[in-house]
Amino acid sequence: MKKACILFFLALFLVTALASPVAAQQEDYPANLRQVSDIYVFLKHLRQRGVLRNFNDLILPLSRREIASLLIAADSSATLTATERDILFDYKTEFRYDLSQQGYAVASQPPPRTLLPDFFSGEPLADKLSETFSPNREKFFYQWADSAAGSLPSTFFADLLLSTDFRSESAPLQASAGWFELGGNIRGTLKGRVGYSLRATNGVLRGSKEVAFGDNRLKQNFRLNLSDIEPTFDFTEAVIKVDADVLNVEIARQTLLIGTGESSRIILSDNAPPLDFIRLWTDIGRFRYTFIHASLLGPYTFVVDSLSGGVREYTPKFFVLHRFDFFIGDMSDPWLRLGLTETVVYGNRGAELTYLNPLIFLKSAEHSLWDRDNSALTFDAKVFLFRNVELYTTLFIDDIQLGSLGTTSSRSKFVFNLGGNVSLPQLDLTLEYTCIDPYAYTHRLPYNTYTNSGFGLGHFLPPNSDEFFFRARWFALRRLTLTAEVSRTRHGDNVIDPATGAVLKNVGGDFNLGFDASGQKEFLDGVLTETLAARLNARYEPFKNILLVAAYELRRIATGDVSSLTNFLSLGVRIDY
């Protein structure tokens, strides 16, 4: 059955590729906070300013072709400040080739610099070095585009990726950590039909792992969580996709962001490791339909073997998503976006053919499969009230029993947020509240929890938590962005016996403990921990493709009568050449 499913989707992918029309750059632009470029943040700012109302970030990432279209639309706005127009100019330089494929005049954008073969040309060494570190030119390690007349366009772009980070923490650890990461990224389009990208990095860590795990990517890394090997780590993501006229098909490992949320998204966020998935979607007028089937990492056990030294055996686990998007208003200026999403997490067996049907109603399908999986239904909305104001909300219905509404029964479990963004010239303000019910995201069967490799697929907070979040982001200069954040989170943890580790009282505060015989819940019951945090972040790009980042955080954690005050400082350099 599993082989048949794989063959079906491969056949669908090939048929779509052969039937698709010729288009511009098809590859995705990663929704990754470690990117040197921060284009999604800027596009969101322009939307909130009323410049790009048609920018839809409820599903990220977008393709480079889609981003280029948005940049062209933004360029015609007369309301941008001088700094905002300078930032836009830099992004148009980064997307110079993509813009040219859509007929946009790019003569005013500086041409890119290519290390190979430019650095080995006959020009003087001083000129080579000057151009290599040009502050305004986009840089590639290598680039190639098929320019043969009458041929379908194919492209290849390659970049070297280098980053180094330092992080220190005051009491109680009073420790620091540094890590170095090196790798590369290739991307392009084949014959104007198929987009591809591959990103791989390898790194080494020195210092305290506990401090380094303040970086969520490192905390997710499996190798770094092993105690018996050298602290090295690696990451890889890859995408191959066909953006056809009617049906779009993608096979990928990458981060997907779905739904609303600024502190963290409720449906799919970057809190968990990147997903391995197959995605189909189609856009018809005001509507978009999306289907995703992904494999997850479930619980594992270590089986001792005297011959092999032991092996980790994990429970197979899968994630299915159907999403329907709709907007109201003009195509270029919608005032309301609505989303309806149904999801299922299932495991302890192979891929279900029922769940591979992109059109089936998942809740009923789950019932027909003996009601053993974890299904949920989510509604989200984003409304643009005024030119510079947008409000958004998400309601994630994990379980619902009408007779239990308004009671303390754990048969109904919800996650919701409510937030708003206000944008002024070069300034964004965000205020958001998120509430996660006890037992939300959990399931009575541990392999059906809403997690990947133990990390929540949705919001970063565990069940039985809430958060108030405020952020101010200032586009201070052309390449300098300053951000200030303040948050208060509360979490009710299960009561644990410190001597044995046994659970004395389950209050629904743990992803992995989704069943309680009492069937009751009380919000923020258990061991209450309150965290107050203030963060300052700076991103500065002195030269194109070279980014400097700095962050400071002051965090107060109080559990009962015990509290601690901790300072965090992190510095980093990102190079994408």
Q: What is the mean pLDDT of each run of 10 residues along the chain (577 residues)?
A: 54 53 65 71 94 92 92 92 95 92 83 71 63 78 76 86 95 89 94 90 94 93 82 94 87 96 96 96 93 92 69 87 94 91 95 93 92 94 91 91 62 92 96 96 92 94 97 96 98 92 90 79 93 97 93 95 93 92
Residues with Cβ within 8 Å of residue 288, at least 6 apart in sequence = 59, 281, 282, 323, 324, 325, 326
Asked if 494 and 519 count as a contact pair (C-beta separation under 8 A), the reply is no
pLDDT of amino acid 387: 82
* Separation CA 410–CA 398 (nearest Å): 11
Its pTM stands at 0.92
H or E element in which residue 559 lies: strand 546-559
pLDDT of amino acid 327: 94
pLDDT of amino acid 132: 66
pLDDT of amino acid 253: 96
* Separation CA 197–CA 429 (nearest Å): 34
Place of tokens 């997907």: 256
pLDDT of amino acid 101: 86
pLDDT of amino acid 207: 93
E strand segments, 154-254:
155-169, 175-190, 194-207, 232-243, 248-254
142-145 and 248-254 strand pairing: unpaired
pLDDT of amino acid 23: 53
Q: How many residues does the chain have?
A: 577
pLDDT of amino acid 29: 81
Asked if 487 and 470 count as a contact pair (C-beta separation under 8 A), the reply is yes
Q: How far is CA 536 from the centre of its chain?
A: 21
* Separation CA 296–CA 451 (nearest Å): 8
Query: What residue spans define the domains of the chain?
Result: 2-576
CA distance to 120, 300, 444, per residue, from 447 (Å): 55, 9, 9
Query: Residue 522 corresponds to which amino acid?
Result: E
* Separation CA 29–CA 11 (nearest Å): 26
CA nearest 404: which of 506, 492, 519?
519
pLDDT of amino acid 12: 55
- Please give the CATH number for the structural domain made up of 2-576: 2.40.160.130
E strand segments, 285-426:
287-303, 311-330, 333-347, 374-386, 389-399, 413-424
CA distance to 64, 178, 225, 387, per residue, from 232 (Å): 32, 12, 10, 48
